[in-house]
Amino acid sequence: MKINGAQIWNDSLLAEGVDVIFGYPGGAVLPIYDVLYNSKLKHIRVRHEQGAVHMADGYARATGKCGVCLVTSGPGATNTVTGIANAYMDSIPLVVFTGQVNIGLIGNDAFQEADIIGITRPCTKHSFLVTDTADIAETIKKAFYIATSGKPGPVLIDLPKDILTGMAEFSYPKSIQMRSYNPTVAGHPAQIKKALTAIKTARKPVCYIGGGLISANASKELMTFATTAKIPVTTTLMAMGAFPSDNELSLGMLGMHGTYSANMAIRDSDLIISLGARFDDRVTGKLDEFGANAKIIHVDVDPGSIGKNVGVDIPVVGDLLSVMKEMNKLLKKGEPNWAEKHAEWLSIINDWKEAHPLGYDTTSKLIKPQYVIERLYEATKGMDPIWSTEVGQTQMWAAQFLKFDNPRTFLTSGGLGTMGFGYPAALGAQAAFPKRPTIDIAGDGSIQMNIQELGTAVEYGLNTKVAILNNGFLGMVRQWQEFFHGKRYSSTVMGDNPDFVKLAEAYGAVGLRAEKPSEVDPVIKEALKVNKPVMIDFVCDPDENVFPMIPAGKTVNDMMLS
């Protein structure tokens, strides 16, 4: 029996196991919205298409599944670009459906036409323009396969309106084979062996973990690896949660605002074991000096990431779960006495940890942003919270002062650095886990980039809490202006912020405010108690900076500690 393209779209997503999608209707996707009127698919109608992509992204980061969103042609499609680029930089699996004008009108500058395939080509893993109703099901199958396998990423499917109204038989393929796409899974055994030999002879090894480890769901294997071989672990911003923060081997984050111990460990290490990281400039600082004393092992599913920025001694291409399992097997063979071998190294690291722990002025009469984060962490201990962040100072403080037990609990825009990501991302995670506390750590600047999604939160009962660390500045840019531009605070003063409490209330959410340290705990308690979306305005010290800091392009020796 023939059914229309929109129905095929719907049935394909159900066959793929999709439970929720984020979208916004429009002319070109009317046939799909007609089907969604009584579909089993849950649809969350957002307030802006960028929000839809970030929600699908947050959903994907928190669940490990593919996020899905749906928008109309033209402006609906172009509004997704930042969200898609964001997911691409952080390798998050998404399938983005965009409406398109009728096939015959493509290229004619029709109403609400945009060449979204062309516009998003550099920021998608792949994209498809469907030109036949009979191809919809197979294209969707391919899109999910491509988005979720190998190095994950966003895939865009452009659906002309007449393809959605056309008729075809429906059958959803069980599996897909593509001759041009076969991502590597198993690592090369000889390379893995080489890596193990290096690990067994190193005196000062350190694990440098990236977001790829979380994508590969290999946290347990990392735990086994690091604790067996007694190797200290530092994580990138994208990998927070990959290794428990309170483990004695944990060094926290490395890089520009990383811990003293993590950056010193990299400086002095003789073997850097990079697992699913990509040697981003915010991590490496001055490239020539990064790990200058170390051999580098780099395990990554993407060969293109290996040797791109830093020369690698032992490359291993493969899925991290599979490679880590192999490495753990080999770790046991001819095992040295790890504790003894690394005793001196671990004691040096401990000295660094004790000499320069992360901290802030705890005697201040003003609310310190770090204090709010610590109190939020304490208040949600044992409740399996999911954290998201916006971008800038608040993001860095969150990475420094939150503690993590599990992966997929810290949703942050690592690569693109997208302000306005955190709130919709948290809502996407909340849609997947309605019962877990989901908290966005925001600034007064970044929250206003997608604040309209408060409406979505209220409408769908997504009871995410937003903690605005309000310092009246675009804080990170202000910090750079203070250090590098003679305190000329050009366009970074947020003088006319709205009353966030009233704003939340206007949307039908709960607004709360804390103006001094003693008010922080009661407000947090209230926010967690109330079964509604909450926005908390923490009026913070406007002059607080993020430390340590290694200025861009500099080395660990230029680290500013306060």
Partner 1 sequence: MRHTISVLVENKFGVLSRVSGLFSGRGFNIESLTVGETEDPAVSRMTIVTRGDEKIIEQINKQLNKLIDVIKVRDVTTEDYVDRELILVKVNAEEKNRAEILRMTDIFRGRVVDVASKTYTLEVTGSEGKVEAFLEMVKPLGLVEVARTGKIALSRGGKILSTKGSGEDKKGTGTKK
CB of 135 to partner 1, least distance (A): 12
Helix or strand holding residue 480 (H, E): helix 475-484
111 tagged catalytic: yes
With respect to partner 1, which residue has the nearer C-beta, 118 or 382?
118
- H-state helical runs in 356-444: 369-379, 393-401, 422-432
Two tokens, residue 77: 């499609």
Widest Cα–Cα separation across the chain: 73
Two tokens, residue 295: 């051999």
CB of 313 to partner 1, least distance (A): 14
DSSP state of 299: E
Could you tell me how far CA 146 lies from the centroid of its own chain? 19
CB of 83 to partner 1, least distance (A): 19
Could you give the CA distance from residue 73 to residue 97 in angstroms, rounded to a whole number?
10
Residue from 138, 167, 173, 181 binding partner 1 (CB under 8 A):
181
487 tagged catalytic: no
Site for partner 1 contains 187 (CB under 8 A): yes
* Vertex 230 angle, CA 228 and 232, to 5°: 130
Site for partner 1 contains 165 (CB under 8 A): no
Residue from 146, 209, 231, 442 binding partner 1 (CB under 8 A):
146
Site for partner 1 contains 318 (CB under 8 A): yes
CB of 85 to partner 1, least distance (A): 12
Residue from 174, 178, 382, 488 binding partner 1 (CB under 8 A):
178
Stretch of 70-78, 172-180, 281-289, 510-518 contacting partner 1, by CB under 8 A: 172-180
CB of 121 to partner 1, least distance (A): 5
Strands 233-235, 271-275: pairing is: unpaired
Alpha carbon dihedral 164, 170, 171, 172, in 10-degree steps, equals 30
With respect to partner 1, which residue has the nearer C-beta, 187 or 415?
187
Site for partner 1 contains 188 (CB under 8 A): yes
40 tagged catalytic: no
With respect to partner 1, which residue has the nearer C-beta, 327 or 431?
327
With respect to partner 1, which residue has the nearer C-beta, 316 or 432?
316
Strands 167-169, 2-4: pairing is: antiparallel
CB of 185 to partner 1, least distance (A): 11
Q: Which of 55, 163, 89, 136 is nearest to 456 (CA)?
A: 55
112 tagged catalytic: yes
Site for partner 1 contains 141 (CB under 8 A): no
Site for partner 1 contains 163 (CB under 8 A): no
Stretch of 310-318, 332-340, 355-363, 397-405 contacting partner 1, by CB under 8 A: 310-318
Two tokens, residue 87: 């997911």
Site for partner 1 contains 177 (CB under 8 A): no
Say which of 161, 204, 353, 368 is annotated catalytic: 161
Contacts 24+ apart (CB under 8 A), 381-384: 383/436, 383/437, 384/409, 384/436, 384/437
Site for partner 1 contains 191 (CB under 8 A): yes
Site for partner 1 contains 422 (CB under 8 A): no
In 124-158, which positions are buried (b, 16+ CB within 10 angstroms) versus exposed (e)? bbebbbbeebbbbbbbbbbbbbbbbbbbbbbbbbb
404 tagged catalytic: no
Say which of 55, 89, 324, 476 is annotated catalytic: 476
Count of residues of this chain found to bind partner 1 when the rule CB under 8 A is applied: 28
Stretch of 24-32, 226-234, 300-308, 328-336 contacting partner 1, by CB under 8 A: 300-308
Neighbours of 206 (CB within 10 A): 27
Could you give the CA distance from residue 421 to residue 445 in angstroms, rounded to a whole number?
12
Site for partner 1 contains 332 (CB under 8 A): no
Q: By the 8 A CB rule, do 474 and 389 touch? A: no
Stretch of 75-83, 102-110, 179-187, 548-556 contacting partner 1, by CB under 8 A: 179-187
Residue from 45, 126, 200, 513 binding partner 1 (CB under 8 A):
126
Site for partner 1 contains 316 (CB under 8 A): yes
Neighbours of 67 (CB within 10 A): 32
Site for partner 1 contains 288 (CB under 8 A): no
Q: By the 8 A CB rule, do 443 and 394 touch? A: yes
Tell me the β-bridge partners of 493: 473
Could you tell me how far CA 335 lies from the centroid of its own chain? 36
With respect to partner 1, which residue has the nearer C-beta, 126 or 282?
126
Site for partner 1 contains 180 (CB under 8 A): yes
Task: Compute the residue count for the chain.
Answer: 562
CB of 165 to partner 1, least distance (A): 23
Name the residue type at position 33.
Y
Stretch of 182-190, 433-441, 450-458, 529-537 contacting partner 1, by CB under 8 A: 182-190
DSSP state of 187: P
The residues binding partner 1 (CB under 8 A) are: 117-118, 121-122, 125-126, 129, 146, 151, 178-182, 184, 187-188, 191, 302-304, 306-308, 315-318
Catalytic residue positions? 49, 111-112, 161, 476
